Amino acid sequence: MARHKICLLGGTGFVGKRLAARLSEAGHDIVILTRYATRHRDLLVLPTVRLVEGDVHHADFLRQQLKGRDTVINLIGILNEKGRSGKGFRRAHAELPEKIIEASREAGVHRLLHMSALHAARTAPSHYLRTKALGEEAVHRAENPDFHVTSFRPSVIFGPGDGFLNRFAGLLRLAPGVFPLACPGARFQPVYIEDVVRVFADSLDNHQTFGQRYDLCGPKIYRLREIVEYVVKLINKRVCVVGLPDGLSYLQAAMLEFAPGKPFSLDNYRSLQIDSICEKGFPEVFGITTTSLEEIAPGYLHR
């Protein structure tokens, strides 16, 4: 397998850290761009990883960092923005991919792996999904014989350090016996972090993946209520999960938009109107038997 010189954007996040570990283990040389290098010094234990602090939206900085790299991986994404205009989502999900394409062209990069989201579409109800679609379209427009693009569209991703099961576990631990759950009927097909990073790593040199977009889901579909009740069981707490009807779910989202850290928002509520499940099985090209929630979650949620 070829050793690549990779520039990793979003390498300090939940997915990025695991992907960096996997790529480093395979001997690839990795530069991670971050806004806050000192916060992520733990990544420097990985032998082939370097952290560079800077603003990825700045064209000169991006071009400089891509110079001499053969591959760029873009994982940057946000679940919520400051305000509600959609500007923050557009900047992170649609404008940044355009900037990456431009800088890659100038720097001579010839491979891009791009993180999108399941059911990203121009017609989707949320800013999150609409802007993810714009970014995905932009990177695939750039595909040419000297520049190959693959994008990935996962359902929710689980594993140690995730922001999904861990967030519910944190909230449930604080709950006073009753937990009001918005959108309890929303469906998900959670996919394991190690399965996700494996397909990124395996795509690097696989010509079959050039120009392709892959939906990534785990082996089983759950309603949100089932997942939250499973977390209750794992953390061994006595709490009753009360599913909210649609009107109250909307109201909860509208109120929590103003809570510190925006734990839930109207945009999140709108994303949940579309079931996050795959129409087909896991892409055969990767030859993976996907890992279930039940195999992994007890290992990091159980106390």
Ligand X SMILES: NC(=O)c1ccc[n+]([C@@H]2O[C@H](COP(=O)([O-])OP(=O)(O)OC[C@H]3O[C@@H](n4cnc5c(N)ncnc54)[C@H](OP(=O)(O)O)[C@@H]3O)[C@@H](O)[C@H]2O)c1
| Nearest CB to ligand X, comparing residues 39 and 67 | 39
The residue within the footprint of ligand X, chosen from 23, 117, 139, 293 (CB under 6 A), is 117
Interface with ligand X, residue 77, by CB under 6 A? yes
| Cβ atoms of residues 146 and 183 within 8 Å | no
The residue within the footprint of ligand X, chosen from 6, 31, 46, 56 (CB under 6 A), is 56
Interface with ligand X, residue 277, by CB under 6 A? no
> What's the min distance (Å) between Cβ of 104 and ligand X?
17
The DSSP symbol for 146 reads: T
Interface with ligand X, residue 164, by CB under 6 A? yes
Fill in the amino acid letter for 244.
Answer: L
Interface with ligand X, residue 16, by CB under 6 A? yes
Burial 195-233 (b: 16+ CB within 10 A, else e): bbbbbbbbbbeeeebeebbbbbbbbebbbbbbbbbbbbe
> What's the min distance (Å) between Cβ of 75 and ligand X?
4
Interface with ligand X, residue 272, by CB under 6 A? no
Interface with ligand X, residue 156, by CB under 6 A? yes
Fill in the amino acid letter for 206.
Answer: N
Q: And the tokens for 245? A: 């009807």
Which residues, including other chains, have CB under 8 Å from residue 235's CB and lie 6 or more apart? 169, 172, 173, 301, 302, 303
| Cβ atoms of residues 189 and 218 within 8 Å | yes
The residue within the footprint of ligand X, chosen from 46, 92, 124, 232 (CB under 6 A), is 92
> What's the min distance (Å) between Cβ of 95 and ligand X?
11
> What's the min distance (Å) between Cβ of 288 and ligand X?
17
Q: Which of these ranges, 32-40, 42-50, 97-105, 180-188, lies near ligand X under the rule CB under 6 A?
A: 32-40
DSSP 100-145: HHHHHHHHT--EEEEE--TT--TT-SSHHHHHHHHHHHHHHHT-BT
Task: Identify the CA nearest to 149 among candidates 102, 76, 90, 207.
Answer: 207
The residue within the footprint of ligand X, chosen from 2, 36, 83, 177 (CB under 6 A), is 36
Q: Give me the residues that bind ligand X (CB under 6 A), please.
A: 10, 12-16, 34-36, 40, 56, 75-78, 92, 115, 117, 154, 156-157, 163-164
